Structure 1
């Protein structure tokens, strides 16, 4: 019988994440969203007026990649740049259409959360407690 390796929380979380990442992508796909687009819209929604450099930093992408992604979101009518002119700082905001799309995505994600919680109630409780303890008193939650 092969030896069971020692428990690794890192490996365990990666295994759980890999199992749910596909479900997450499948839930967003009919809305025309990827996880990256969803995250970008979310960052812009919670921080109206966010700069491209800050958006790139939060999204862990380059500023040029942020410009390309936001251009696609603008073309789709999901984001507006109130000060879009050469040489001016951008003032990014989610449009009404973008807010509705985020609400639709939130409903789909909530359904996934229910399935996860039903399958893994103890893990759900532990993750919730950890997030609350980690982010208590900060603006990160």
Structure 2
């Protein structure tokens, strides 16, 4: 009989994350969004005029990936780039259609969050604590 490998919290989180990302992707697809585009749209709404470099930093991706995604958001009518000229800084802002689709996307994401809270009580609080521990770190907690 094969021995059961030890439980790995990291691998478990990766499996859960992959499953939830697939669910979110399926919910956003009819809105012409992906999780990355959804996140970028939220950043653009929160920070009108944000640079491509800053969007890349916030999204933990490359500037080239951000350009491709923003171009798609612009083509969908969700984002306006008021100075889309070669060599010039862009002035990105969310459009009325972008605000509407972002609201719909938020509602779909919130439904997934609500289901998680209902079916796995305590998971949200546990994840929030884990995230705090990762971002603050044990050495910073006393400050």
TM range (shorter): 0.7 to 0.9
Aligned residue number for residue 56 of structure 2: 56
Matched residue of 2:80: which SS? strand
Aligned residue number for residue 104 of structure 1: 104
Note the C-alpha offset of 1:18.
2.0
Alpha carbons 2:78, 2:94 under 8 Å: kept: yes
Q: TM-score with structure 2 length normalisation? A: 0.82
Note the C-alpha offset of 1:48.
1.5
Q: Which runs of 5+ in 1 are unaligned?
A: 137-141
Q: TM-score with structure 1 length normalisation? A: 0.83
Matched residue of 1:93: which SS? strand
Alpha carbons 2:80, 2:94 under 8 Å: kept: yes
Q: Which 10-residue stretch deviates more, 55-64 or 13-22?
A: 55-64
Aligned length: 136
Distance 1:125 1:74, change over 3 A: same
Distance 1:100 1:81 in 2: 18
Aligned residue number for residue 139 of structure 1: none
Matched residue of 1:121: which SS? coil
Q: Which runs of 5+ in 2 are unaligned?
A: 137-143
Alignment map for 1:38-117 (pairs within 5 Å): 38-117=38-117
Distance 1:64 1:102, change over 3 A: same
Once superposed, what is the RMSD of the aligned Cα atoms?
2.0
